[in-house]
Amino acid sequence: MSSRTLRRLPMFLLLVLLMGLAGFGAHRIAQQLGLAELQATGLHRLDLYSASLEREIGKYAFLPGTLDLERDVLELLRHPDSGQPTAKVNTYLEQLNERAGTLSIYVIDTAGRVVAASNWRRADSFLGEDLSFRPYFREAMASGSGRFFGIGTTRGEPGYYLASTLVDASRTLGVAVIKVSLEQLEKSWSTVEAPAMVSDENGVVILGSVADWKFTTLRPLDEPTRSAFDQTQQYNRRALKPLGLREIAELDHGARLVEIARQGSEIVSVYPVSGRFLAQSRPLPGTPWTLTVFSHLEQVDEIAQSRALVAVVGAAFVFMLGLMLDERRRRLKDRLAAREALQQAHDELERKVDERTADLSAANQLLQDEVAERIRAERTLRAAQDELVQAGKLAVIGQLSTGIAHELNQPLAALRTLSGNGVRFLERGDLATTRSNLERIAQLVDRMGLITGQLRAFARKSSGQLQPVALGRALDNALALLEPRLRQANAEIVRHSPLPEPLALGDANRLEQVLVNLLGNALDAMDGQPAPIIEVDCGVVAGRARLSVRDHGPGLAEAALSHLFEPFFTTKAAGVGLGLGLTISAGIVRDFGGTLSGANHPAGGAVFTLDIPLSPEASA
Ligand code: ADP
């Protein structure tokens, strides 16, 4: 057996128990109700049948008593042996018998001898017979009237005897007897719907709606009773077989549950005559008889069974319904639990999200702090950078000062010579030579002013404001600043510039500073070459201004490539290079929103490229 089946076993047993109980209960109740109904119907029938029997008997009850109204009858009894009235009375009785529809009418004298009879003509007439032993005679003699059921002694015909004394002036002369056929009484039962019977004081069935029941006994007869019957010849030596009635249970109101055994021969009847019955009895008034009505239980049983079946099915249905409802309730509960779990999970999730959000905001705060820290560092660096720019400038100035001194010393020496010569030519009166000298002096002074002016401009701190810068002009200025060095190195500058020259957005001074730096590095790289060449390209590429400076030196070393723009990276001898030039230059270009990059030219030498946004004016 599977565990599933095992689990269901109690449920199944419960169902079986429930169905059994319901079936049993319904059966019991239906049976009780059916029995009660049957009992009511039975009582009704009992009333009906006894009334019709009484009516039938009553019809004849008065008849024997009326015979003493007949003078001939009384005369005959007074003088039994006169002979004369006997024929007359016989004829009278014969006619009366015919009209009344009775079996026979006869008159008995006080000694018990039949003195006149309706059947006087017949050979088996009991005229002259002694009937003193018959109970109805004795009863009538004793109490004035007698009633008796019995079977005729002469012809063996069963009948009901009604006897009444014939009295003449308070003297009993004899007894008049009427015998009524039982068939006559039974006639009224021809239409009964249920078996009925009349049993006498001996428990012998004398009347029955079922023919075979007649002369059966309801209870076994003991021997003394049997011999008494022989004496009175009540049943005229009939067999008196038992009916086979067995009492099952005693109910209230004199009702009983009985069972009538099936007879050997099949009885033809409109209603069942064997089986279980509800038997209801009642004594018939004026007789020692008992009327019994039988109602078959078959119908009640059938109804009870069908009710029980309905109850069983109903119980099963209710049980299933209960199971279904229970299942539904359980499912609903599960769903609620699931919803609750979901809600919990949701709450948990929300809580976690809140936590994470808190973490995140903390992290965010940290990040912000970090960024702020970086910005601060950047600012500090920028400040330091600015300082360095200034320092770089000073370094360049320092570097240049030798050249400048040399530059200025020459014109100054020339000025001294020219002015000294000029004085002498003036004394000689050579005015033309004097003018020529003075003109050369003026030229020299202009040149010296130019040099000092450029120096001033270089040293000046930038305003920080971005303005349109003509790249060509900036290049001119840078080259002018480097003029002495270029000349000294015998360098050649090759310029490729389109027209009109690009207008970038930046700061002229600082851009010049960058260019001086790049050109200076190029000269350094080609140091020792007899005719160094620097190529400067200037143009617009992809909507931005671009300027590149290429030399023909050894190019950038592998190590230098990755550290070019780091502060204090230099390959030059101490005191010659600081390693700040490119760092400062890159910072300046970045300030313009541009980039500075260094690479090796495929054909040799290094090339540095400036990429700066165009001025909106230029774009326009
Ligand atoms: P410095 O010139 O003081 O060394 P820079 O920042 O200007 O500092 O240059 C850093 C280094 O980059 C130089 O020391 C040199 O090694 C390398 N460099 C710069 N320009 C060139 C160039 N045109 N050719 C070869 N190397 C160069």
What is the predicted pLDDT for the residue at 37? 86
- The residue from 462, 494, 514 where one domain ends is 462
Q: Do 161 and 212 belong together in one domain? A: no
C-beta separation of 210 from 269 below 8 A = yes
User: At 620, is the pLDDT very low, low, confident or very high (cuts 50, 70, 90)?
Assistant: very low
- The residue from 157, 181, 205 where one domain ends is 181
Mean pLDDT of the chain: 84
Q: Nearest Cα to 565, choosing from 587, 545, 592?
A: 587
Q: How far is CA 618 from CA 475, 499, 540, in A?
A: 18, 12, 10
Please report, to the nearest 10 degrees, the dihedral formed by the alpha carbons of residues 472, 473, 478, 484 taken in order: 100
CB of 569 within 6 A of ligand 1: the answer is yes
List the beta bridge partners of residue 496.
Answer: 537
Measured between alpha carbons, how far is 355 from 385 in angstroms, rounded to an integer?
Answer: 43
What is the predicted pLDDT for the residue at 509? 85
Mutate to test the pocket of ligand 1, among 519, 576, 582 (most ligand atoms within 8 A of CB): 582
CA 374 to ligand 1 centroid distance, Å? 29
CB of 26 within 6 A of ligand 1: the answer is no
Q: Is residue 219 part of a domain?
A: yes
Q: What is the CATH number of the domain that holds 266?
A: 3.30.450.20
Q: Do 116 and 160 belong together in one domain? A: yes
Tell me what percent of the residues of the chain surpass a pLDDT of 70: 89
Q: Which helix (H) or strand (E) holds 454?
A: helix 431-459
Q: Is residue 332 part of a domain?
A: no
Q: Whose CA is nearest to atom 27 of ligand 1?
A: 556
Q: Is residue 41 part of a domain?
A: no
**For residues 579 and 50, which has the higher predicted lDDT (pLDDT)?**
50
Q: What is the CATH number of the domain that holds 455?
A: 1.10.287
Q: Residue 149: pLDDT above 90? A: no
Q: Do 454 and 504 belong together in one domain? A: no
Average pLDDT, integer, range 550-554? 96
Q: Is residue 159 part of a domain?
A: yes
CB of 518 within 6 A of ligand 1: the answer is no
CB of 560 within 6 A of ligand 1: the answer is yes
Q: Whose CA is nearest to atom 10 of ligand 1?
A: 570
What is the predicted pLDDT for the residue at 250? 86
- Which range has the worst mean pLDDT, 119-123, 285-289, 355-359, 601-605? 285-289
CA 584 to ligand 1 centroid distance, Å? 12
Q: Do 585 and 473 belong together in one domain? A: yes
- Which range has the worst mean pLDDT, 153-157, 545-549, 556-560? 153-157
Q: Residue 459: pLDDT above 60? A: no
Q: Is residue 118 part of a domain?
A: yes
For residue 607 the two structure tokens come to 């090339």
- The residue from 135, 163, 181 where one domain ends is 181
CB of 385 within 6 A of ligand 1: the answer is no
Measured between alpha carbons, how far is 356 from 363 in angstroms, rounded to an integer?
Answer: 10
Beta strand 544-550 with 533-541 is antiparallel
Q: What is the pLDDT of residues 466-516, one digit of tens each?
A: 899 999 999 999 999 899 899 999 999 999 887 778 899 998 888 998 999
**For residues 276 and 390, which has the higher predicted lDDT (pLDDT)?**
276
Q: Do 160 and 255 belong together in one domain? A: no
Atom of ligand 1 nearest to the CA of 579: 8
**For residues 286 and 371, which has the higher predicted lDDT (pLDDT)?**
371
Q: Do 211 and 165 belong together in one domain? A: no
Q: Residue 454: pLDDT above 60? A: no
Average pLDDT, integer, range 405-424? 82
Q: Is residue 10 part of a domain?
A: no
Q: Do 444 and 420 belong together in one domain? A: yes
CA 401 to ligand 1 centroid distance, Å? 21
Q: Whose CA is nearest to atom 21 of ligand 1?
A: 521
CB of 556 within 6 A of ligand 1: the answer is yes
Q: Do 391 and 296 belong together in one domain? A: no
Q: Do 196 and 246 belong together in one domain? A: yes
What is the predicted pLDDT for the residue at 455? 58
Q: Whose CA is nearest to atom 13 of ligand 1?
A: 570
How many domains in the chain?
A: 4
CB of 565 within 6 A of ligand 1: the answer is no
CA 570 to ligand 1 centroid distance, Å? 6
Q: What is the pLDDT of residues 321-349, one digit of tens each?
A: 988 999 999 999 999 999 999 999 999 99
The domain in which residue 192 lies consists of 184-300
What is the predicted pLDDT for the residue at 331? 93
CA 548 to ligand 1 centroid distance, Å? 15
Atom of ligand 1 nearest to the CA of 553: 24
CA 606 to ligand 1 centroid distance, Å? 10
Q: Do 592 and 479 belong together in one domain? A: yes
Average pLDDT, integer, range 597-614? 95
Q: What is the CATH number of the domain that holds 615?
A: 3.30.565.10
Q: Residue 191: pLDDT above 70? A: no
What is the predicted pLDDT for the residue at 379? 87
CA 557 to ligand 1 centroid distance, Å? 10
Q: Is residue 158 part of a domain?
A: yes
CA 595 to ligand 1 centroid distance, Å? 17
Q: Is residue 234 part of a domain?
A: yes
C-beta separation of 192 from 168 below 8 A = no
Measured between alpha carbons, how far is 532 from 548 in angstroms, rounded to an integer?
Answer: 17
Q: Do 521 and 546 belong together in one domain? A: yes
Atom of ligand 1 nearest to the CA of 582: 6
37 burial via Cβ count (<10 Å: 0-12, 13-18, 19+): middle
Tell me what percent of the residues of the chain surpass a pLDDT of 90: 24
What is the predicted pLDDT for the residue at 262? 78
CB of 585 within 6 A of ligand 1: the answer is no
What is the predicted pLDDT for the residue at 215? 83
Q: Do 495 and 527 belong together in one domain? A: yes
For 389, residues 6+ apart whose C-beta sits below 8 A from its C-beta are 513, 584, 587, 588
